[in-house]
Structure 1
Amino acid sequence: MKKKGWIITSVIAVAVVAVAAFFGVRSSHYRDHFLPKTEVMGVTIGGKTVKAANQTLKAKLGNVNYQLTDQGKTVATVSGQELGLNRDYTALLNKLIKKQNPWGFTTVVLAKGEQSALASSADQTAIKAYATSEAQSLNTNRTAPEDAKVTVENGDYVIQKEKAGNQIDATKLANEIASTIQANQTKVQVAKSYAKPKVVSSDSELKDAVTKLKAISKIKAVITITNHKETIPTATLQSWLSYQDGAVTVSESGVAKYVASLATKYNTYDKSRQFQSTKRGTVTVPAGIYGWSIRQSAETKALIELIKKGADFDQTVLYQGTGYHADGTDIGNTYIEVDKVNQHEWFYKNGQLVMESDVVTGKPSTPTPSGVFDIWSKQRNATLVGEDYKTPVSYWMPIDNTGVGLHDASWQPTFGGDWYLKHGSHGCVNQPPAFIAKLWNVVSVGTPVVVF
């Protein structure tokens, strides 16, 4: 028995030594080799050193082809090498091998962070560049998504629901490619990269916008041009309103077009006029320097700000120049009329004839210009200077910007008739001294002067 016991003991001892030796060798081996069946991103690296595993990963992953599939159809193929998957994985493999137990038998599983790290070891610049280029190419005949928006239907504001599209968002596609690589997959689901509408019908901001737009569209918007009133039609106002980028907006081009239409209707500067003359009935008088015009740019901006406030308004139009008197007409009922054909002048005040006289206008070679002007200055004892004359006068009232005006002409022996044909002025309207002395006292600067 003693001998048999000794034998058993010896066998056990040998077995223990053998097992210990085996595990010692195994432990030593797997200190720098990966455990059997170890896989990284679908590639088996069991039994390999970090260096060998790195070469295997570079070779395998660089040659993997990824399919971009859309609705079950492959629309593009890209190799791992194009996506930068043949880069160096040494650092991550070293980190992985340090986690394994050289005495163990189970493989080490990559944590999510390490999976991401391995995927990011691919060239992210290459993935983004590819995704950007491929998205641009694939989007050629694809439909873009449409944001929900506010529209006008049957005179009322409603929310038009958003519409899905199948255009690809390059950033989403790049992320989907990276996710596919991390998951050890080779098919990239393009549909997950579709661009989405940025605004949807359930957004509270959109509902608030409808409320605001309805309120603004119902305001009474009036523009006053002296005693002319222009009310902006509700339909026109609605056509200017919209909701963009999170705010209610007023179309600048729409308002500008409307203001331009008012200018066409009311502006008088640089326009000929129909004038009811004393002796010749209705005559057409060309433009002079007298006139009135809407300051279109400033008026457009002012209207936009008033409309945005959402309250009724009656705005006096912004204008420049002279014109539009209390009676709503351009010239008004106080003016000087100079009839060159009849060589006669009248002064009307508040529609009543105050005084009149024969005059002498410019001779045919230097005619008095026709047009609607105004007295823009009144001077006593002035000297008129021209190319070939220097003449002192007692009363001087310039009416245009070329040196033409009304003044006394004591050197004229007669006025009216056809005297002007040979003895007319250089362009001014010569007045009898006694007549202009009285006229001077009753006319004001700014009085229109109609010459025809």
Structure 2
Amino acid sequence: MTDQLTHDPVVGDGPNEPESAVAVRVRLAETLEATSTPKRKRRFLWLWIAGGVLVLLLGAALTLLIAPGTTVAGVPVGGLPPSIAANVVSQRLSDASISVNGTRMTGSELGVSVDAGALTNKALADRPLWNLGAWFGAPIEAPVTLEAGKADKALQQALPSLYTKPTDASVRFVNGTYVVKPAAPGIRVNTAALAQSLQRAFSRDIDHVAVQTTKTDALPPISTGTAEATAKKLGGMLDTIGFYVGTERTVPVAPDVAASWLTVTSHDSTGSFSITADQKKIQTAVDALPGQVNRQPANAQNIVNSAGEVLRVETAGQTGRTLGSTGGVAAAFATQLSDGNAEYSLPVTETPFQTTNLQRSIDVNLSTQTLSMIQNGVVVGSWAISSGLPGTPTPTGHFTVRDHIRVQTMSSTQYGYVVPNVQWVMYFDYNGDAFHGVYWHDNFGHPMSHGCVGMPISLAQQLYDWTPDGTQVYVH
């Protein structure tokens, strides 16, 4: 039974003989030797790796960290990399308790800031941790800025007695023109000076910051210069405003009417004025345009000489006009006025006029003692005159009217006469011979003068008005 239990067969290949005690000890010793030696080698390897890492970390620290004892804007940043140091500086300045004229405020309320990133980067460049000579160096003073709007708002709430509100310049329409009321400056805290005081205070002790304010002018958003420029612009618009046909201001708009269309609004946010126009008020003027613009053509008449040269425009020609559709005119003009353009071009169809030339001349017949006004070859007026006496005859030939004189004194030392108040005088040569009215005799139809052609005063005026300079005269 015992043998059977001791020597039970085992499934496998070959005999299942029991291992001797000696063999077991030998195998165990070999196994222990094989496993113990590599473990000792690996332990030393890890020690070398750990040491190398420490060296690398120490080297990095020496080059990437700021030297101990360094302060930026009063904030200690020694032993920190620049990125973390920048955040620390910004946060400390934001949280700093500041006494302004004895009133407690925070850096955040004043919008205090410095260029922390640039300052800490420079601190590392100038004072790396490896440079023992840079340890505990002088404080780095940081240029401080204040967020102007934020600082002013906070200071005005905390210290209202330091502020006087400025007055904007304004533009108003008075007695037909736009006038300016000048701006008036107020008083405010000088935030630029306050920033410099904070800069010095932070460098001394960021935990105990106390500064005093100074005052400066508070300039209004809308300056006098801006108002004057706007008034000038509006004045120019009043000078030209109207509805135009071509270059003609066919329908002017009175200044007070134009001003009633316009609204001038100031904008503190931009320091400027804007101009808007009331479309409904403009529409009232647009509705009246047809009666002011539409017209029939008027033909022209020119007085000419025999060569066709225009001596005088007797009747100016005028084109006919028909106004087109006015739908949308009021809206378009309102937009133009908002942009400063006061000249609106109307849609108009024009009809040209005709021109008639009137060729005029004067015929003096010494034989019959008559004068005739001739127009386009037709006698349009004729009457008796008094020409020169035989001793002082009126010259014959072709002449040209060269001068018109309403009234004058005629005199001659040669013939010894002085005649005042001679009216409607027209000279036709350079020897003093003229057409004129006569009040000292009524013997017309007979020679009576020293060469002039005299006639009744009323007829002399008719001839004077009918005859332009340059009219041809034929005396025979």
More strand by share: 2
Which has the larger Rg? Answer: 2
- Scaled by the length of structure 2, the TM-score of the pair is 0.32
- Scaled by the length of structure 1, the TM-score of the pair is 0.33
